[in-house]
Amino acid sequence: MTNAEALNVMTRLNARNEGFSPSERRIAAEIMASPSQVALYSSQVLAQKCNVSQSTIVKFCQTLGYKGYPALKLALSAELAHGEGRQQVHRNISSDDPMGAVAQKLYESKVAALSETMRLSNSDDIAGAVDLLFKAQRIIIFGVGGSSLVAQDLSGKLTKFGKAVLFSGDSHIQLANLASLTSDDLVIAISYSGRAKEVTVAIEHATKLDVPIIALFGYGSKPTTIENGIKLTCVADENLVRSASIATRTAQLAVTDLLFVALSQRFENVGERISASQKIVKDLF
């Protein structure tokens, strides 16, 4: 088992939670609630606590990508041991890690976020979101904290298509702008937790105004669906320490970049549009 696999138990549980059966959810909940205890349990003890059979435990471990329960316990123990007595600065990176290990772990973290996000992306939802983007007269984008950087990046990309895009770091201004939108426009809400107050308020008001919505949330976040639009999901393993939302931002950008490229396919003269915008910027130098 590689180091990446050994430090990936919680990520796998978070990413696959919505697809678990009721019995599998009980197993996942037990592991996430008491990982240090589960690392000491036999498969029989865990089966009894979760009210499932031992064979269900084995199948659950295989669903997560492990050969069996011993392999999952080994990975879980390694993940727990890694954090004991060491100061974490980001995810599984500790303050005493050498530079080579820091680079490798950061790379693995970003690759994991990208691969899990792309694996869980629903093609129909992406296509539906692109339809909304293509039809929208005006687009207003909401994002707070690290998500605001993703929102700003997306706003810059969408303007290349000649779209009227509204984005401001001041959420009050953004909410005020929302009042003038109609059903011909679009709201894009970006929040990994799905609980950012500014984002939830924007979604509530957009729904009342019948403005279509694209919500980009973390996998398993609430609400699970968007009443007047489409929910897209991304996955990032930053459940222990989220020092700068690095993996989260990587996952979010993977989805917004996918939307940008897919939308580019809808425009016959997209190359000319992008070239023209780049030429104007070059004139500054």
Fold topology of 3-84 = Arc Repressor Mutant, subunit A (1.10.10)
Count the neighbouring beta carbons within 10 Å of the beta carbon of residue 274: 15
Per-residue tokens: 179: 């009042």
Place of tokens 């107050």: 197
- Domain ranges for the chain, please list them: 3-84, 120-282
Would you identify the CATH topology of the domain 120-282? Rossmann fold (3.40.50)
Query: 186 is written with which tokens?
Result: 């679009």
What token pair was written down for 28? Answer: 């996942």
Task: Give the dihedral sign, CA 43/44/47/49.
Answer: negative
* CB-based contact 246:238 (threshold 8 Å): yes
**pLDDT 10s per residue in the chain (285 long)?**
343 343 468 777 876 766 788 899 899 989 988 888 888 888 999 999 999 999 999 999 988 888 889 889 888 877 776 655 555 555 566 666 778 877 887 787 788 778 878 888 889 999 999 999 999 999 999 998 889 999 999 999 999 888 999 998 888 888 998 989 999 999 999 998 888 888 999 999 999 999 999 999 987 777 778 889 999 998 876 544 444 578 888 899 999 999 999 999 988 776 776 777 777 777 777
Contacting residues for 83 by C-beta, under 8 A, at least 6 apart: 92, 94, 240
